Structure 1
Amino acid sequence: MVTGSSKGIGAQIARQLAREGATVIVNYTRSKTDADQVVTRILEQGGSAFAIQADVAKSLEVKTLFKAVAHRYGRVDILVNNTGVYSTGELGEVTEGVHASGFFEGGFRSKIESITPLGRIGQPQDIAPAVAFLASDDASWITGETLIIGGGLR
């Protein structure tokens, strides 16, 4: 299950996990159309996925979400808590507003790119493989660690 997986990093993680063979629960709060598009893309590529709406900031909806998954599959083997919620709104709304304002373009973007050893801004496809690795048996001896996926920027 990948929370907040109808867009951006979450959607990329869902697609990556599906490519690795996982049946993916695409969780979304409001964007059913986007979640359905993620599911469709996974299914078209031979994977297994379905979308379930739940606001993971609300405990009752989380309980309902897990009950639905347990009823359908018996258990959750992988949980990626991708959803971000800010007191001013959901992370997606804040991010969209910042992008719409142009804040990430121009001087700010150039500054971040200049101090990042890899010389660019990270993309969802940079994050998803690391998540898939951590969810795999290959990472079974890794526990309690912090993995910074930041292009070398700390």
Structure 2
Amino acid sequence: MSEQPSTSPRVAIVTGGSRGIGRESAERLAREGCAVVVNYAGNAAEADKAVAAIAEAGGQAVAFRADVAEEAEVAALFDLAEKTFGGVDVVVHAAGVMTLAPLADLDLDALDRMHRTNIRGTFVVDQQAARRLRTGGAIINFSSSVLALALPGYTAYAATKGAVEAMTLILARELRGRDVTVNAVAPGPTATALFLDGKDEETIARMAAQPPLERLGTPEDIASVVAFLAGPSGRWVNGQVLRANGGIA
């Protein structure tokens, strides 16, 4: 960690920070003492709620809209973090999209949208992070446990997350000598809007029963893993994919 005054907090950027796992991660990092930039794509009202919740708990946060696949917008996101809080120490790239359909039926526009957000977005965010993070920093990407589960209907989404894992492991090696860790979290079925949307109760119940712990994950479960990787206890974990899924795979 770079030398900073004791009154200066670590600074975290959380993409997709207005909802779900991203929002819970932003609030958890704020409780751990980070100043947080909550990135969002379109839902300003939810991003403002996340900032307000952090402020009410005594933390520091601002919201900033940026398309994670646009280089100039992501650069502006990092500029804001540096100008507002003095630098960037942690990047949690939680933004992502998912469309489910068998490979034979998936609309190619949906494939392109997932590719743009999940693959190009990870590349663009990680590129800025690799250039700008201070010594002692942490980059945390998001994969998915569907890679191991190989569930029908997830072909395109799982393919994008396979690319995220490849980028994560290679970037960790490319940052040799920087004292910056790069890891990915791969949640299993987690009770977020992204997961629950379009699934009937029977499907949700069946998936909740699959892990040995016999429940869906929660955003709080995943945020705890993020906080571990972002904090001092996780410094020796690098170039890894942590499958936070209750033992489902």
SS in 2 for 1:10: helix
TM-score normalised over the length of structure 2: 0.56
| Deviates most, 21-30 or 79-88 | 79-88
How far is 1:106 from its partner?
2.2
1:49 maps onto 2:61 in alignment: yes
Percent identity over the alignment?
Answer: 40
Cα distance, 1:111–1:21 mapped onto 2, change above 3 Å: same
**How far, CA to CA, are the matches of 1:135 and 1:97 in structure 2?**
24
Q: Which residue matches 1:147?
A: 242
**1:85, distance to aligned residue in structure 2 (A):** 3.7
Runs of 4+ in 1 over 3 A off after TM superposition: 95-101
Structure-1-length-normalised TM-score: 0.88
What is the match of residue 106 of structure 1?
201
- Matched residue SS, 1:2: strand
Question: Cα 1:41–1:84, aligned 2, differ >3 Å: closer, same or farther?
Answer: same
Among 211, 216, 235, the residue aligned to 1:121: 216
What are the Cα deviations for residues 5-51 of structure 1, in whole angstroms up to 9, with x where unaligned? Answer: 00111000000000100001100111111000000011001111111
Question: 1:9–1:124: 8 Å Cα contact kept in structure 2?
Answer: yes
Counterpart of 1:58? 70
Q: Structure 1 residues 47, 116: closer, same or farther in 2, change over 3 A?
A: same
Residue equivalent to 1:35: 47
Residues 107-150 of structure 1, C-alpha deviations (whole Å, 9 max, x = no match) = 21122122211101111111001100100011111111111100
Match of 2:15 among 3, 20, 30: 3
Q: Which runs of 5+ in 2 are unaligned?
A: 1-12, 99-108, 118-191
- Residue aligned with 1:79, SS: strand
8 Å contact from structure 2 (residues 196, 204) kept in 1: no
Which one of 92, 97, 121 corresponds to residue 80 of structure 1?
92
**Following the alignment from structure 1 to structure 2, what is the Cα–Cα distance between the partners of residues 120 and 77?**
33
1:98 CA displacement: 7.1
Separation in 2 of the partners of 1:106 and 1:51? 34
Residues paired across the two proteins, number = 149
> Do the aligned residues in 2 keep the contact of 1:69 with 1:75 (CA within 8 Å)?
yes
- Letter of the structure 2 residue corresponding to residue 63 of structure 1: A
Aligned partner of residue 55 in structure 2, secondary structure:
helix
On the 8 A contact 2:30/2:54 being kept in 1, the answer is yes
Q: More relative contact order in 1 or in 2 (CA 8 Å, sep 6+)?
A: 1
Structure 1, gaps ≥5 residues long:
none
Cα distance in structure 1, aligned partners of 2:85 and 2:59: 15
Q: CA–CA distance in 1 between the matches of 2:225 and 2:35? A: 18
